[in-house]
Amino acid sequence: MLANKFKNYNIILASSSPRRQEIFRELNIPFTVEVKHINEHYPSELKRVEITDFLAKLKAQPFDNQLTKNKIIIAADTIVWLENASLEKPKNTEEAVKMLKLLSSKMHEVITSVCIKTSNIEKVFSSVTKVYFKTLTNDEINYYVKKYQPLDKAGAYGIQEWIGFIGVTKLEGSYFNVMGLPIDKLYEELIKL
């Protein structure tokens, strides 16, 4: 049904994330991946969803001069929000270990914003999921960081990996949002187009 609706459109997913690509592929809509590298800095006064909204729009912006009537750009950004601070991608394994120690035995929020852009609309929406971690041991944290190399993930973890299997005790909200793409909301917004 959805594939037919978009057969005359050129949909571009502006994300190098294999997880976002995998999730989006499950909608069975033809799309291509194109990424334009940007400087992912945001004003320091932004908080929570303001950060992800800003960055999702920023990631879609370089496509402005390519937009046509039948082209749809989809860009997204995800952060982990803990104790009034954003945990983004760790720069090294030491930082990854430190982040996981911060998340241990606490609840944090995973916030993803998506920007859908065409030549005549720009729609930004977000999703927030509460994730609860058990108390993680140093051995568990070190094993995960060494074996799974989580440097490309906000908050230094992937819920779909080992640490998610053994560490996450409760979720409130979308599981796929934690993976980086709230596909249920994205589907609804695409239908509205």
What phi and psi, each to the nearest 5 degrees, are found at residue 147? -80, -35
State the DSSP code for 161: S
The answer to whether residue 2 scores a pLDDT higher than 70 is no
**Domains of the chain with CATH codes:** 2-192 (3.90.950.10)
Question: Looking at residue 1, what is its pLDDT?
Answer: 59
The answer to whether residue 86 scores a pLDDT higher than 90 is yes
Closest residue by Cα to residue 183 from 28, 9, 62, 58: 28
16-40 residue pLDDT tens:
999 999 999 998 889 999 999 898 8
Q: Work out the average pLDDT over 88-105.
A: 96
Catalytic annotation, pick one of 64, 77, 152, 184: 77
The reply to whether 53 belongs to the active site is: no
134-164 residue pLDDT tens:
999 999 999 999 999 899 899 999 999 999 9
Q: Structure pTM?
A: 0.93
Least confident of 66-70, 88-92, 97-101, 165-169: 66-70
